[in-house]
Amino acid sequence: MGDAARAVTILSTGGTIAMAGARARPALDIDALLATIPPLADVADLQARALLALPGAHLSTADALAVARAALAETHAGRGVVITHGTDTLEETAVLCDVLHGRPEPIVLTGAIRPTSAPGADGPANLLDAVAAAGAAACADLGAVVVFAGEMHAARAVRKVASLSPAAFGSPGRGPLGTVAEGRVRVAARPRRPTAPLPAPEALGARVPIVPTYLGDDGDALRAALRDGANAVVFVAFGAGHVSPPVLAALREAAAAVPVALTVRPENGVLAHATYGFDGAEGDLRASGALPAAELSPQAARMVLLAGVGGGCGRDALAHALDA
């Protein structure tokens, strides 16, 4: 099949790719799913097993960690990995796999927007492409990636950008790493990744809320997160890293108490350095003690904090993982 060079294991967790019916519900076990894709029978040394059978919206952090651990175990056996996953939370599991993964074997996540019973079901093509990527020598050292609609996206950049389109995933501001077509993988770019993976935590039990700012914000949402026992916080600033003066005061208090990842609201976001000079501009945020993570989506930054805090990482290790 194309340029496959390594053995591949498929780990199924459920999602639309395993659903059917007029109103999609879980319907296909792993064997039934593979039976919808006859070309997979020709793939040498392909193994498959089910881990879960859940819609993406039903996964817990414990489920995500169990999936990541199973994938890592397969890579330690020298196998490429495909994870079939519900698209609602696919990007969270992808970035968790990525920050815990330091081996060359790829971990490839995919799924579907249309159930198997729908006209134009996209799951079979996505899974076939994902297996090709997981087995391809060209995908060595990419970490975790998402393969969807013929495109391959880095875990740290990918976002679900459409609710019902088969082209559901993109990498805003960056674009895909490459493409998969006819079983052949083309890698056009390679992602920046941390130089070392985070230690695998025993659990993802930390309390890590996402706190966005908004017009009229007085900082109470940040203070409320601390009052509620947050172990870390993902903060979402305006624009290129801007807040009101009351929010800046609250951000300084929060960053002095717990790790705070600093993200921004625009999908094509960056944290500026020295464009603006008003109170609450990017220079103030960079000096607040919060940890820059503007290249990550808020949900991705949360997964990094969950893994890092769960693994006992200090501030420097968290900072590096958030801003590779």
Same domain, 14 and 118: yes
Q: What does the pLDDT average to over 102-116?
A: 98
Pick the last residue of a domain from 187, 218, 252: 187
pLDDT at 28 > cutoff 80: yes
Instruction: State how far the Cα of 227 lies from the Cα of 16, in Å rounded to an integer.
Output: 38
**Spatial CA neighbour of 191 closest among 147, 157, 150:** 157
DSSP-H helix ranges across 111-187: 123-135
* pLDDT band at residue 2 using 50, 70 and 90 as cut-offs: low
Q: What does the pLDDT average to over 94-120?
A: 97
Same domain, 75 and 181: yes
Same domain, 174 and 265: no
User: What is the model's pLDDT at position 194?
Assistant: 85
pLDDT at 225 > cutoff 80: yes
User: What is the model's pLDDT at position 4?
Assistant: 63
Count of domains for the chain: 2
Q: For residue range 170-219, what is the model confidence (pLDDT) as tens digits? A: 999 899 999 999 999 999 999 988 889 999 999 999 999 999 999 999 99
Q: For residue range 269-307, what is the model confidence (pLDDT) as tens digits? A: 999 999 999 999 999 999 999 999 999 999 999 999 999
User: What is the model's pLDDT at position 140?
Assistant: 97
Q: What is the dihedral of CA 99, 168, 115, 95, to 10 degrees?
A: 10
CB atoms within 10 A of CB 67: 24
Same domain, 57 and 127: yes
User: What mean pLDDT value characterizes the chain?
Assistant: 97
**β-bridge partners, 54:** 14
Q: What does the pLDDT average to over 84-112?
A: 98
CB atoms within 10 A of CB 191: 19
CB 185 within 8 A of CB 136: yes
pLDDT at 1 > cutoff 60: no
Pick the last residue of a domain from 187, 219, 245: 187
User: What residues act catalytically?
Assistant: 16
Radius of gyration of the chain (CA): 20
Residue 201 lies in a domain: no
Q: What does the pLDDT average to over 32-50?
A: 95
Q: Domain residues for 240?
A: 210-322
Q: Are strands 178-181 and 151-154 parallel, antiparallel or unpaired?
A: antiparallel
pLDDT at 112 > cutoff 60: yes
Same domain, 162 and 285: no
The Cα-based distances of 104 to 44, 127, 129, 150, 186 in angstroms read 20, 21, 19, 22, 17
Same domain, 140 and 254: no
User: What is the model's pLDDT at position 193?
Assistant: 86
CB atoms within 10 A of CB 296: 26
Q: What is the pTM of this model?
A: 0.96
User: What is the model's pLDDT at position 123?
Assistant: 98
* pLDDT band at residue 5 using 50, 70 and 90 as cut-offs: confident
Pick the last residue of a domain from 134, 152, 187: 187
CB 129 within 8 A of CB 1: no
Phi-psi region of 61 (alpha: psi -120 to 50; beta: other; left: phi over 0): alpha
- The one-letter amino acid code at 226 reads L
Phi-psi region of 114 (alpha: psi -120 to 50; beta: other; left: phi over 0): beta
Same domain, 112 and 18: yes
Instruction: State how far the Cα of 247 lies from the Cα of 220, in Å rounded to an integer.
Output: 8
Q: What is the dihedral of CA 180, 80, 52, 96, to 10 degrees?
A: -90
Residue 192 lies in a domain: no
**Spatial CA neighbour of 302 closest among 204, 221, 219:** 204
Same domain, 44 and 182: yes
Same domain, 289 and 233: yes
φ, ψ dihedrals at 80, nearest 5°: -75, 155
pLDDT at 24 > cutoff 90: yes
CATH number, domain at 290? 3.40.50.40
Same domain, 159 and 51: yes
Same domain, 12 and 148: yes
